[in-house]
Amino acid sequence: MIDGAPAGHELAFHSDVRLSSGETRHVVMVDMATSSKAHLDKLRAFLGDNFFQRITWYASGRSFHGYGEDLLSSDEWVKFMGLLLLVNKPHMEPTVDPRWIGHRLLAGFSALRWTKNTSHYLLPPSLVDGGR
């Protein structure tokens, strides 16, 4: 699927998952604002080790993308997105991309890209050493 994405188009993974029960859940996703590993440590301190260790990280060129093991209800997902926004401290460089959070809340689901088929992006996402 990734290799089949047309030139000039990007492929993104969406968070919303429909369970066999018909219920919708969301994969935990995070779009960091920077490629500095120090910001991953800030997020770890904010979320706590137990939750943070269940997120796998990918370098995406300008930042990191995180994918968690947990499936969140729609209400839990909205709260999680709000929590991510609160990681960013006033008057400091953002840790998590606040514009991504805004766009995702408006759309009702998270999305992170898996390709680099346009000049807008530097690299396709690749697993960070250790992943967690």
Predicted pLDDT at 70:
94
Q: How confident is the model at residue 10 (pLDDT cuts 50, 70, 90)?
A: low
Q: Is residue 40 a contact partner of residue 109, using CB atoms and an 8 Å limit?
A: no
**Is residue 129 pLDDT above 60, yes or no?**
yes
Domain residue limits, the chain: 13-127
Q: d(Cα 65, Cα 63) in Å, to the nearest integer?
A: 7
pLDDT digit string, tens, across residues 65-120: 999 999 999 999 999 999 999 999 999 999 999 999 999 999 999 999 877 655 65
- Residue 100, φ and ψ in degrees, nearest 5: -60, -45
Q: pLDDT digits over 15-38, tens only?
A: 999 999 999 999 999 999 988 889
CA 11, distance to chain mean position in Å, is 14
Q: What is the pLDDT of residue 128?
A: 86
pLDDT at 2 over 60: no
Query: What would you report as the CA-atom Rg of the chain, rounded to the nearest whole angstrom?
Result: 15
Position 54 scores a pLDDT of 93
Residue 7 banded pLDDT, cuts 50, 70, 90: low
Contact (CB, 8 A) for 75 and 24: no
Q: Is 13-127 a CATH 3.30.70 domain? A: yes
Q: Which amino acid is at 59?
A: A
DSSP code, position 81: H
Rounded to whole angstroms, what are the CA distances from 12 to 5, 65, 118, 119? 10, 12, 13, 16
